[in-house]
Amino acid sequence: MVFAVLFPGQGAQFRGMGADVFGRYPGLTRFACDLLGYDLVALCRDDPDGVLAQTRHTQPALYTVNALHMFERAHHEQRQADYYLGHSLGEYNALLAAGVFDFETGLRLVKKRAELMAAAHGGGMTAVMDTPEPQLREIFAADGVAGVDVAGFNTDQQLVIAAPDNVLHAAHIALKERGVRFAPLRVSAPFHSRYMAPARDEFEEFLRGFTFAQPQVPVIANVTGRAHRPGEMVRTLSEQLVEPVRWTDSIRHLLAADPELECEEVGGQSLLRMVARIRKATPVANSEVRN
Residues marked as catalytic:
88, 192
Residues 6+ apart with CB under 8 A from 75: none
Query: What dihedral do alpha carbons 257, 222, 274, 253 form, nearest 10°?
Result: -10
Convert 136-176 into a string of H (helix), E (strand) and C (coil). Answer: HHHHHHHCCCCCCEEEEEEECCEEEEEEEHHHHHHHHHHHH
Strands 3-7 and 262-265: parallel
Q: What share of the chain is helix, strand, coil (3-state, %, to 5)?
A: 45, 15, 40
104 C-beta neighbours (distance < 10 Å), count: 12
Terminal alpha carbon distance of the chain: 17
DSSP 3-state of 124: strand
Amino acid at 139: I
Strands of the sheet containing 149-155, edge to edge, are: 149-155, 158-164, 123-129, 182-184
DSSP, residue by residue, 175-217: HHHTT--EEE-S-SS--SSGGGHHHHHHHHHHHTTS--PPPSS
- State whether residue 89 is helix, strand or coil: coil
